[in-house]
Structure 1
Amino acid sequence: MIEELKSGIVCKSARETAELAERIAKACPQAVIALVGDLGAGKTTFAKGLARGLGITASVKSPSYNVCLTYSENGANFVHIDAYRLKSSDDYENLLIDELVPEPRLICVEWPQIIADALPDDTIWIEISSPNHEEPDTRLLKLVAR
């Protein structure tokens, strides 16, 4: 699944974006996924799909105000972080994810550029963009190197 993202995958709707994320979560239930994209690109939609792929049935919300939200269900742990308001990698470390959320866990980070130094080397970086302004729901998801 991740290999396919190297050349990019086009999703024509929010539903397709979430379904792609579900498949990725099933393939990588223990990972850190960094989502890069403009405001409204579909990062939270993707995160909701990741949670669903892990079997999380709770309503996944944007962590914009909380910075970090965790969900545990059916033996799976999902951590959803919005790093936009974090100032440094130290702020990420202070979330104490390793201490508070048991493995296996899938961590999804929106706006990861701010805390890139704190993320593991094997973090999966995915860029979400809108390649066609005539089709506003179309998204291109592509693996990017860090």
Structure 2
Amino acid sequence: MDSIISASPEETERFGRRLGEKVRLQSVFALYGDLGAGKSTLACGIARGIGVREPVTSPTFTLVHEYRSGRLPLIHVDLYRLEGPREAEALHLEELWSEPAVLVIEWPEKMEDLLPPQTERWELLLLSEKERMIRPKGGPISRSGEAIL
């Protein structure tokens, strides 16, 4: 999927829904971006695309939320409060990779080396107060939202 420019939280969630509609078990999404870039909104959209019905909130203080009301189980992880990879290892978060679920990880840079090979990496870049670019991590930037090949 190419990069897009989102002008609202609704557009970010809609993009996440499209991602969530296509996932299969053990899909892993790593969401990168500054505070306020829309990672939790994108995670909510992925959950809605899977069919999660209950409210989806960022697990900043609990680290992990599980949702089982969709067509696939979803595990939403927020690593913001972790100091780094050692703390992630101590918590054995890599055990989540073997769960029969879809994983969405916010602040994955806190455990980059532990991410499974199938991880889809998405970054959210703040372009203005309202606009965000959502693109595959490391992908080219295009103001029009078109992929630059």
Counterparts of 2:111 and 2:103, CA distance in 1: 13
Q: For the structure 1 residues 91 and 74, does the alpha-carbon distance in structure 2 shift closer, same or farther, using more than 3 Å as the test? A: same
Question: RMSD of the TM alignment (CA)?
Answer: 1.8
Q: CA deviation at 1:109?
A: 0.5
- Is 1:108 matched with 2:104? yes
Q: For the structure 1 residues 138 and 79, does the alpha-carbon distance in structure 2 shift closer, same or farther, using more than 3 Å as the test? A: same
**Aligned runs of 1:1-146 on 2, under 5 Å?**
2=1, 4=2, 8-30=3-25, 31-86=27-82, 87-88=84-85, 89-91=88-90, 93-94=92-93, 96-98=95-97, 101=99, 103=100, 105-131=101-127, 133=128, 136-145=129-138
Q: CA deviation at 1:92?
A: 5.4
Counterparts of 2:40 and 2:29, CA distance in 1: 12
Q: CA deviation at 1:130?
A: 1.4
User: Which is further off, 56-65 or 68-77?
Assistant: 68-77
Q: CA deviation at 1:29?
A: 3.3
Q: For the structure 1 residues 115 and 41, does the alpha-carbon distance in structure 2 shift closer, same or farther, using more than 3 Å as the test? A: same
Q: Secondary structure at the match of 1:85?
A: coil
Q: Secondary structure at the match of 1:64?
A: coil
Q: For the structure 1 residues 94 and 138, does the alpha-carbon distance in structure 2 shift closer, same or farther, using more than 3 Å as the test? A: closer
Counterparts of 1:60 and 1:122, CA distance in 2: 24
- Confirm or deny: 8 A CA contact 2:9 2:41 kept in the other structure: yes
Q: For the structure 1 residues 75 and 84, does the alpha-carbon distance in structure 2 shift closer, same or farther, using more than 3 Å as the test? A: same
TM norm structure 1: 0.83
- Confirm or deny: 8 A CA contact 1:92 1:115 kept in the other structure: no
Q: How many residues align?
A: 134
Counterparts of 1:75 and 1:91, CA distance in 2: 31
Post-superposition, which runs of at least 4 consecutive aligned residues in structure 1 deviate over 4 A?
none
Q: Secondary structure at the match of 1:29?
A: coil
Gaps of 5+ in 2: 139-149
Q: CA deviation at 1:58?
A: 0.6
Gaps of 5+ in 1: none
Q: For the structure 1 residues 92 and 12, does the alpha-carbon distance in structure 2 shift closer, same or farther, using more than 3 Å as the test? A: farther
